[in-house]
Amino acid sequence: MASRRQKRPSRSQRYERRQPRRKPVSELTVRLPKRTTEPETVVAHLGPTNSGKTHDALRFLVANGRGIYAAPLRMLAQ
């Protein structure tokens, strides 16, 4: 009696075999780098039109001595 040839594994089965075995979530450890600088602060100046938001933001920026001013996209598009 002739032996039966085994069926070839599907592509997905071959792909799964090539993948490394993953640890269960309960065995995972998270390692984060130690922080070397203080966290950044985001300050948003919100309010109605003509309420002095830009003036207050620029004054805050000058008083702080460093930072970035991000203008509203509406103004940049014109």
DSSP assignments along 4-66, one per residue: PPPPPPPHHHHHHHHSPPPPPGGG-----PPP-SPPP-------STTSSHHHHHHHHHHHHS-
pLDDT value of position 23:
80
pLDDT value of position 75:
57
Per-residue pLDDT tens for 4-33?
788 888 999 888 888 888 788 888 888 888
Per-residue pLDDT tens for 32-76?
888 888 878 888 888 888 888 889 999 999 998 888 888 776 655
Specify the pTM.
0.43
pLDDT value of position 78:
57
